[in-house]
Structures are given as C-alpha cells and as structure tokens.
Structure 1
Amino acid sequence: MAARTTDRTAGRGTGRVTVLAPSPELRVLVEPAPDGTTEIHLHTGGQGAWVGRMARTLGADVELCLPLGGESGVALRALLEAEGLRLSVVGIGADTTTVVLDHRGERDETDAESGDRVADAPSVLTRHEVDDLVTAVLTSALSGDVVVLAGSQPPDLLPADVYERLARDLRAQGLVVVADLSGAQLDAALAGGVDVLKVAHDELPGDDVAPDDVDALRAAARELQGRGARSVVVTCSSEPGLLVTEDGDAHRLRAPDVTPAQTRGSGDALCGAVAARLAQGADLLDAVRTATAAGVVSVARQGHGTGDRAAVEAFAERVGVEALG
C-alpha cells in the first residue's frame, strides 16, 4: 500500500517548494591546487540552502525565504540565484554569516570544519526582521504546495515560537509542512503540527537509540507522532532509514553502499528531495525512496547537499524497501 502523507497533497503537484532558511552562510574554502598553488572557492551554505539546492536539482520550483545583510549578503545572493533558486530576501542590519575554512593540510572540507575556521554571524534577528521573515514565508507558501522549516544557528537566532506559529498557520491554509529541526525549535513545530518530520536517530526523544534497534526507533517515532508529527522519517547513519506514516505503516529503506567523500548536508539533501517529490505529486513512500537516493548521491560528492538528478533517479531504483509488520 502506498504511504499517504496527507489528503492535501493529492492531485496538486505544482512542484513549488518554499524553504525557511534563517541561517544562510557564505562559505569561503581555501584549498591546495594541483599545481601547488592555492585555490579560493565560494560556496553557498546553511541548512536551508542545502535543502533548497537538492529540491531544485530534482526539478522543484524553489523559493528560499532568508535574511541577508552586508557585503557577504550581496555575494551570497548572487551565488544562490546562480543555482536557480528564487529568493524572498529580508534585509537585516547585521552581515550575513561568513565561514572561512582552510582546507590546506586537511583531507577534505569536513576535516577543515574541525580545524581552523573563522566565522562571523548575527547573534539574533530583531523583532522587525523576524516579522518580515515570517511574512515572507507565508506569502511565498500560499502559491505552492510544500513548505520546509529549517533550523537556525545559533538556535536563538530565531525565536522557537515562530516555528509553532508558522506550522499551525501554514497547515491551516492547506499546505504540507516538512520540518528538519531539533531542540526547542522541534518542540515548538510539533506543537503547531507537522506533516512530515525528518529527524536523525541521535536526535530522537528519550535515551540514546541505536540506529539498528528497529523497535526502539519505531517507538520513538510514534512518540513524535503523538506530539504532533503526522509522519516521521528517521535517518540512521549507515543503517537503513525508517519511515513511519500517519496510518501506522512502517518501512525501512536501505541505501546503496557508496564510499563517502563527506557526509555533511546529506540529511538536508534528503529533506529537500522529500519536499520536491511531494510537491510534484508523489506519495510519501516514493518521496522517501527518492530522498534516500539523494542522500547517497550527496555523500559521494564533496559539495554539501549537491547532486545530479539523473544520478538520484538511478540510485532510487536500487534503494531497498522493507515493509515492517
């Protein structure tokens, strides 16, 4: 039986996705060139940007709602637009976060993350900036199908109650809400109601849940459903992921094995793929199968949340799906 998400998605399929991206980053990577010199790369970053990137890769019409400010904001805006993402920009008084990573002497960008880095970020959005960001999300969402609520870094950059209000108001307008959150922001979104929650196994409620403990994973997912999530997607590191739908069906999804180039952004790629496929009219199980493949393609590449549509579709055919009794 196909996994249902919600009756509100059935038959719409406009392919439009809105992403709340409260913490965009301009990422500057310094790395050695093959000829022994140094290369400088400018990348778009932040959870919302990586979610939107994969959704766009899979053919969705994506609009990011995000705060931008200063010279770094100007540069990041140009990079995001070059990726084919539409932007609803809230101007802020602070500079957009800039992260400088020195890759020289490190194996890859993931290693560079734990080494020397320079980061500058706004500590908090002002009340007026928060209001404008909420308005941008609501306005963008009303012309689409699916809204992704991404978290902020630091967590108090955006007040947690914003997530409760947005989740409740968006669902009241018949929109599908996908969330990838943790901590107080997750609690708030659940209070407002979420259609599809993506969560990592090590962020599940209660005691630490092993990624191969299926019974414990299902129990934790059901707890989240009791708190306001209609369906839950649990990512489990190298173990098969878990989907628990609103009608109680559960499936494990086994991704094809690849050698990781890096792992950061793979969960965001998965989330973006779920949103894209739901916006295109797919049922939830098909969306999560495709999303599992998107995560595989992402980890096989150096770029966070990057991929190729043909590669994702090819790997999706190799994702194993097991219905659980």
Structure 2
Amino acid sequence: MTAIHLQVQANSERFDRYLSQELTDLSRSRIQQLIEQGNVQLNGQVCTSKKINLKIGDRITLEIPEAQPLELQAEDIPLDILYEDEQLLILNKPAGLVVHPAPGHPDGTLVNALLAHCPNLPGIGGVQRPGIVHRLDKDTTGAIAIAKTDLAYQHLQAQLQAKTARREYLGVVYGAPKTESGTIDLPIGRHPQDRKKMAVIAPEQGGKLAVTHWRIQERLGNYTLIHFQLETGRTHQIRVHSSKIGHPIVGDPLYGSGRSVGVNLPGQALHAWRLKLQHPITENLIAVTAPIPPTFTTLLEVLRRRVAIS
C-alpha cells in the first residue's frame, strides 16, 4: 500500500477537487472512490466526504491499496440455487462465503463459483464483481440475486435504487425491545477510527441515508427474533442500526456485545430470508424464500427451551 502525505497551503472548496489538482496521476473518479472507501484521512481522522471544505494547514494522508489482479479464476464451488433462468440467478448463500474477491480473500468467493456456473458472466457489472447487484456480509446467510445479462444487471440495480425490490431479513438480537415495531433512520458511513467497521455518521461527515424497518417476530426472554426490511442497502446496515439502538445481533463479531449465547454460531445470527423483485424481461413478481440455516434454527430452539423452563 502506497501512502501520500499532503499539507494544504490554501483554502479549497472541495476535498476531491483539491486532491485531483495535487495528484495529477489519479483521475477524479479514482480519488472519489478512495475517499468513499475510507482510504483518505484528514487531520488523522478517516474522511469519507468528498465535498468537505479544506483549510490552510489541514493534513491529508491518502493510502492507495495495491492493485488487485483482474484475472479471476472459475472455481467449482457448490451453489444452493433457489431460482434460475436465462436472465438471473438467486442463491441461498451459506455463512463463511465471501461474495467477491478483496484483499485477504483473493479466491474461494461467490464470484469464483459464479464464473464456473455461468461462463458468460465476465463483463457484467465490473471485472471484480460480475453480476453482483447487492451483497451479503461473509457470515450473513440467505438470498442473493445475481444478474446473468447486462439488461438484468441494469434492471435489478434500478429496482434497488427505486426501492421496489423488497429485501427481508430475520435476526436474533440481544434484549427485548419495548415496542413491537419501528423504523431506524440513521445515516451510515465508514467508522472514523476503524476502517473495518461502519458507524452512524452525520451526513456532513460522509454518512449516507440508511433506513431499516423492523418488527418483532418472537420474544425469547432476554433475546428477540426480529423481522427486518431494508429500505436502503448500506454496508453492515442492519448490524450497525441494531447495535445503535442497544439490541445488537447475536454472534456479531464487530458490533455485538461479546457475550456468549451458548450456541456455536459461525457469525452473526442474521439471515436474508425473503427476496422479492420484478423479472427484468417478463416484469412478473419473483418471490423467493431462503430456508433458515441449521445453526440459526438450533439457536431458536435453545432459546425457546430456556424460556419454557424459566
């Protein structure tokens, strides 16, 4: 990773404009991407806002990650297919499977598996993440849609942006919410100190609109099974929002309480349960439900037994 250090010599209107003027070897879009990904620090703090104004004396550190290889290898990894036709594929992703290659996970990802399953996929939606229109965290299980054509990719992206695609999750959280349902409307951005995490961040600091609707499915003593519906799709959105209101997802290694629930979980107890979208060609509604994984079911059974004998 290459680090570049700058000190502002004159007031500037926009962060990205200043950097593009100073770093002529990088395009403005590349600079904006580095800012959004949390690779730029302003006065020692990660800054993900490209529009922030700079002042004389401000110190900037920009880190450029090593280039990732563009050649992705097809790998024969089993896929749990929930729906498939010529345009799209909907899978039930297991825990532990990374969606697309990234530093630390160059292979063994869902993308590598897709390249083996769909030979015509490369070039759809970008080199490193072909066909991926939305993602699931490594240890989040459940339904994920893959575009198999350019038309499907554009159509599915438009549905996500227009909020007409419906993504429903089930999650077990610590504690017992006082109300039966609610909406969490708090902007999310890169954590100012820990780049592996997201956090509730004010819009002027780079936080982006994030809205999560929730309702209680089942009360389980000091735990609760909650149905979540995403209105937006920010990274770690449900996990960050749940933690922020004091009810983190059980088993969450980043945002959880660290308490053991007595069940061996592969990660956070969060499952992308149901996905509803419009077919890109026929425009028919497709509704797919991903079976709840065994570890999630075991967790619910254990918690129900505890409630029954308490």
Q: TM-score, normalised by structure 1?
A: 0.26
Query: Which of structures 1 and 2 has the larger relative contact order (alpha carbons within 8 angstroms, sep 6+)?
Result: 1
Rg bigger for which structure? 2
When you count helix as a share of all residues, which structure comes out higher?
A: 1
